[in-house]
Chain A
Amino acid sequence: MNKEVLQFAALFVVMVLVQVLICNHIALFNVAMPIVFIYFIIRLPISLSLSVLFSLSFLLGVTVDIFSDTPGVNALACTLLAAFRRPVYYAYVPRDDKTKDLIPSISSLGVGVYCKYLISLVGIYCFLVFSIEYFNFADIEEIVLLSASSSLLTFLSLLAFDCLIITKS
Chain B
Amino acid sequence: MRNLFNFIIRYGTWFIFAFYVIISCLLLLSNNTYQQSIFLSSANIVSNSVYSLASEVTGYFHLKSINESLQVNNAMLETEVLNLRHQINEYKTLLADTLAADPAKNRFDYVQAAVINNSVRHPRNYFSINRGSKDGVKVGMGVVDQNGIVGIVNVTGPKTSRVISILNETQHFSVRLKGTNFIGSLSWKGGDPSVAYMEQVPRHARYHAGDTVVTSGFSTTFPSDIPVGVVMNRIHGSDDNFFILKIRLNSDFKALSTVRVIKDEYKAELDSLQNFDFVPSN
Known interface pairs A71-B36, A79-B20. Does A134 touch B13 (Cβ–Cβ under 8 Å)? no
Residue in contact with B24 in the complex, picked from A51, A75, A83, A134, CB distance below 8 Å: A75
Known interface pairs A69-B119, A71-B36. Does A51 touch B12 (Cβ–Cβ under 8 Å)? yes
Of A2-10, A60-68, A96-104, A153-161, the one contacting chain B is: A60-68
Those of B30-50 within 8 Å (CB) of chain A? 30-31, 36, 39-42, 44, 47, 50
B17: nearest residue on chain A (CB-CB)? A54
Q: Which residues of B contact A73 (CB under 8 A)?
A: 28
Residue in contact with B13 in the complex, picked from A49, A61, A76, CB distance below 8 Å: A49
Q: Which residues of A contact B16 (CB under 8 A)?
A: 50-51, 54-55
A82: nearest residue on chain B (CB-CB)? B17
Say yes or no: is B205 at the interface (Cβ < 8 Å to chain A): no
The CA of A76 and the CA of B124, in the complex, are separated in Å by 17
Q: Would B25 and A76 count as touching, CB distance under 8 A? A: yes
Q: Would A58 and B23 count as touching, CB distance under 8 A? A: yes
Fill in one digit per residue for B155-177: 1 if any A CB lies within 8 Å of its CB, else 0: 00000001000000000000000
Those of A127-151 within 8 Å (CB) of chain B? 132-134, 142
Residue in contact with A58 in the complex, picked from B13, B24, B124, CB distance below 8 Å: B24
Say yes or no: is B222 at the interface (Cβ < 8 Å to chain A): no
Those of A71-118 within 8 Å (CB) of chain B? 71-73, 75-76, 79-80, 82-83
Say yes or no: is A21 at the interface (Cβ < 8 Å to chain B): yes
A50: nearest residue on chain B (CB-CB)? B13
Interface of A is mostly: helix
B55: nearest residue on chain A (CB-CB)? A21
The CA of A85 and the CA of B192, in the complex, are separated in Å by 34
Number of A-B pairs whose CB atoms are under 8 Å?
96
The CA of A41 and the CA of B44, in the complex, are separated in Å by 25
The CA of A85 and the CA of B112, in the complex, are separated in Å by 47
**A interface bracket (residues with beta carbon within 8 Å of B):** 35 or more
Q: Which residues of B contact A76 (CB under 8 A)?
A: 21, 24-25, 28
The CA of A168 and the CA of B31, in the complex, are separated in Å by 43
Say yes or no: is A152 at the interface (Cβ < 8 Å to chain B): no
Say yes or no: is B121 at the interface (Cβ < 8 Å to chain A): yes
The CA of A91 and the CA of B21, in the complex, are separated in Å by 24
Known interface pairs A33-B121, A51-B13, A79-B17. Does A71 touch B54 (Cβ–Cβ under 8 Å)? no
Residue in contact with B47 in the complex, picked from A49, A66, A71, CB distance below 8 Å: A66
A132: nearest residue on chain B (CB-CB)? B28
Q: Would A65 and B20 count as touching, CB distance under 8 A? A: no
Q: Which residues of B contact A142 (CB under 8 A)?
A: 190
A69: nearest residue on chain B (CB-CB)? B126
Q: Residues of B at under 8 Å CB distance from A? A: 12-13, 16-17, 20-21, 23-31, 36, 39-42, 44, 47, 50-51, 54, 117-126, 162, 190-192
Q: Residues of A at under 8 Å CB distance from B? A: 17, 20-21, 24-25, 27, 30, 33, 49-51, 54-55, 57-58, 61-62, 65-73, 75-76, 79-80, 82-83, 132-134, 142
12 A–B pairs (Cβ distance < 8 Å), ordered by A: A20-B47, A30-B121, A50-B13, A55-B20, A67-B51, A68-B42, A68-B122, A69-B126, A72-B25, A72-B27, A76-B24, A133-B122
